[in-house]
Amino acid sequence: MIFKRFLVSEAEPPVQGTPEPRLEAPLVPLAILLADDSSMTRSLLRHWLVKAGFQVDLARDGQEAWEAFRARPGHYAMLITDVVMPRMDGPHLSSRIRETEPTFPVLMLSSSEDPAPYREALHLHVDEFLTKPFDARILVATVERLFAEHAGARRGQAVRLAQRTMAALPARDIPIQILSEPLAGAGGDVFRAYRRMDGSLFFTLADVAGHSVLSSYAVAAFLGTLSKLLADDLDLLELARRINTAIQDGPFSQAPICALFGHWDTRDGRLHLLNAGIPHPLWFRASQGRTLPIALDGAPLGILDQPLVEEKVVALAPGDRLLLGSDGFFDALSRSKVAFQGYAGSIWTSLGGATPAHALKLVSEAARIHAGGRFDDDLLVATLEQPPLDPGPGEFSLTFVSEPSRIEGACQALEAHLDARGWLAHADRYATTLAVREALANAMIHGNAQAPGTLIRLSAQGLPGGGFRVRVLDEGRGFDLAPLLPLATLAATRGRGIPLIRHFTRSLTMVGGELTMTFQAPDPGGTP
């Protein structure tokens, strides 16, 4: 997997007088919550445990430990606590935690002065006692033994959780085909698709680092967060921001997630993609026989304070077919260490006649043959095919070759549509047409870089409450954002188009090659 380095917390080399770390790379989150009201004891125990490769958080009393435990659900794997502490004592703390997680490992540091009956009663809520004084070797050995005893149970729990989440395949009415061959029963790649309230589709192909129990928890946390956020009907960028924050603040902050998000409206063919770390292009087979790579950059979610993503909007025509794949698919290596990615596009082109499901099977088989018969990573490929367009009443859509001589005709067609709907009756006709001209010229010259044969889509739609929206979409890597600066200086040789559009529209947004303008039709009865 891609980000294995984030998973393995390398222990510092052993120093003289401290136990040598014996644990392999952790299969469970080995964060220990240590509660003791003695600062000297806290410091000493933490020193021993950290040197042994554990992560330790400190609490000065039971209450503070309980608040830390509740604040980071799933983060802690063991409690080490003193018996007598202010505000909340060790037994009370242990009892509260066990009410939440009945098998949570607890090591209690008792004193030889504690009465025997009291110690027996404590057994109800602890796994082990360690009687002070003890040395580092005894402490670490006890902690390792407790972890080993609980690891099996926790692994089984995590795998069941992962299998449950992985088993929730897309609903049958969602026109996305997937083919998945997980390498292991835990963690790895995951694909989900959801239908939104407005009928559009949301999907994600996510790659969670590793196949350990930790990555299984991370998969579950990611999908849980995603389900919760999808209910808020966020746009993709805001969704990525929230997930980024959730990973950083959550229990699996050491497991960043590569994710591709898509928002697909099958009615008008608009496919909005946002990428955060999937390290290869997608292949987009257009119905005219063209196959285009969609290259998107970005960093995995959870690493940076602000997610580093790239967005792209694609206008799908009926029959257009997109191939999404995990790194295990695109990076499948031949014996001579050549990645399958170099062949994916041409093979995908050749499979235009097959059904989507059959095409997926064939392209996956081609990758397997390329890799010498087996994959070394999860295989997850998906395809979606644009059905016949079904634009809403009053919607306008025109796709044409990216050539400045076509601007005049496109503007006239749009103007006729707007007139027919009465949307221009009270609007600033000149400003509207000029803004659309500018957007089209920008898309052709900068977005498509005047590349021969590239396409432009011009669409328009009325807005609730009045006014209308016009979108211009190119096939390139998007608009040049430099001209977004304030009005260009008189001496500038370019940079006037976007300020001009902004001046003549109610709003202007640009996402991944798509420029969206809204125009407000003035109230005919209002003040001019």
Partner 1 sequence: MNTNLSTTRPASEAPTLAAGDLRLAFPGNLVASTVEDCRREALEALQNLPSPCTGATLDLSGAEVADSLGITLILGLYKTCKDMQLHFQVVGANPDLLRVFRLFSLSRLFPIEGR
Stretch that binds partner 1, among 86-94, 236-244, 315-323, 482-490 (CB under 8 A): 482-490
Stretch that binds partner 1, among 116-124, 301-309, 459-467, 494-502 (CB under 8 A): 494-502
Please identify, using beta-carbon distances, which residue of 368 and 496 lies nearer to partner 1: 496
> Is residue 457 within 8 Å of 472, Cβ to Cβ?
yes
SS3 of 471-522: the string is: EEECCCCCCCCHHHCCCCCCCCCCCCHHHHHHHHCCEEEEECCEEEEEECCC
Smallest separation (angstroms) from partner 1 to the CB of 483: 9
Please identify, using beta-carbon distances, which residue of 141 and 434 lies nearer to partner 1: 434
Smallest separation (angstroms) from partner 1 to the CB of 387: 34
Indicate which single residue of 90, 281, 497, 512 sits in contact with partner 1 (rule: CB under 8 A). Answer: 497
Q: Rule CB under 8 A: say whether 481 interacts with partner 1.
A: no
Please identify, using beta-carbon distances, which residue of 150 and 496 lies nearer to partner 1: 496
Please identify, using beta-carbon distances, which residue of 354 and 487 lies nearer to partner 1: 487
Please identify, using beta-carbon distances, which residue of 280 and 437 lies nearer to partner 1: 437
Please identify, using beta-carbon distances, which residue of 123 and 503 lies nearer to partner 1: 503
The residues that bridge with 81 in the sheet, in sequence order, are: 35, 108
Distances (CA, A) of 274 to 61, 100, 171, 299, 520: 45, 38, 22, 11, 29
Unique residue bearing structure tokens 């004592």: 89
CA distance 239 to 194: 14
Indicate which single residue of 496, 518, 520, 522 sits in contact with partner 1 (rule: CB under 8 A). Answer: 496
Nearest CA among 332, 331, 360, 363 for reference residue 347: 363
Q: How many CA atoms lie within 13 A of 17 on its CB side?
A: 2
Q: Which residues contact 406 (CB under 8 A, 6 or more apart)?
A: 400, 456
Please identify, using beta-carbon distances, which residue of 229 and 441 lies nearer to partner 1: 441
Burial class (CB in 10 A: 0-12, 13-18, 19+), 248: middle
Please identify, using beta-carbon distances, which residue of 437 and 477 lies nearer to partner 1: 437
Unique residue bearing structure tokens 């007088």: 17
Smallest separation (angstroms) from partner 1 to the CB of 372: 52
CA distance 324 to 382: 5
Burial class (CB in 10 A: 0-12, 13-18, 19+), 319: middle
Opening angle at CA 482, ends 504 and 428, nearest 5: 5
Q: Rule CB under 8 A: say whether 490 interacts with partner 1.
A: yes
| Per-residue mark of binding to partner 1, 374-403 (x: CB under 8 A) | ------------------------------
Please identify, using beta-carbon distances, which residue of 164 and 503 lies nearer to partner 1: 503
Smallest separation (angstroms) from partner 1 to the CB of 411: 9
Q: Rule CB under 8 A: say whether 407 interacts with partner 1.
A: yes
Smallest separation (angstroms) from partner 1 to the CB of 436: 10
Indicate which single residue of 23, 445, 449, 463 sits in contact with partner 1 (rule: CB under 8 A). Answer: 445
Smallest separation (angstroms) from partner 1 to the CB of 458: 14
Question: Which of the residues 116 through 145 are near partner 1 (CB under 8 A)?
Answer: none
Q: Rule CB under 8 A: say whether 452 interacts with partner 1.
A: no
The residue type at 469: R
Please identify, using beta-carbon distances, which residue of 445 and 463 lies nearer to partner 1: 445
> Is residue 288 within 8 Å of 401, Cβ to Cβ?
no
Stretch that binds partner 1, among 75-83, 253-261, 379-387, 492-500 (CB under 8 A): 492-500
Question: Which of the residues 67 through 106 are near partner 1 (CB under 8 A)?
Answer: none
Region for residue 17 given its phi and psi (left: phi exceeds 0; alpha: psi -120 to 50; beta: otherwise): left
Question: Which of the residues 232 through 261 are near partner 1 (CB under 8 A)?
Answer: none
Question: Which of the residues 424 through 443 are near partner 1 (CB under 8 A)?
Answer: 430, 433-434, 437-438, 440-441
Smallest separation (angstroms) from partner 1 to the CB of 429: 9
Task: With H, G, I as helix, E, B as strand and everything else as coil, classify residue 237.
Answer: helix
Q: Rule CB under 8 A: say whether 444 interacts with partner 1.
A: yes
CA distance 227 to 455: 35
Smallest separation (angstroms) from partner 1 to the CB of 520: 18
- In the DSSP assignment, the letter for residue 383 is E
SS3 of 124-165: the string is: HHCCEEEEECCCHHHHHHHHHHHHHHHHHHHHHHHHHHHHHH
Q: Kindly list the residues in this chain that would bind partner 1 in the complex (CB under 8 A).
A: 404-405, 407-408, 430, 433-434, 437-438, 440-441, 444-445, 487-488, 490, 493-494, 496-497, 500, 503
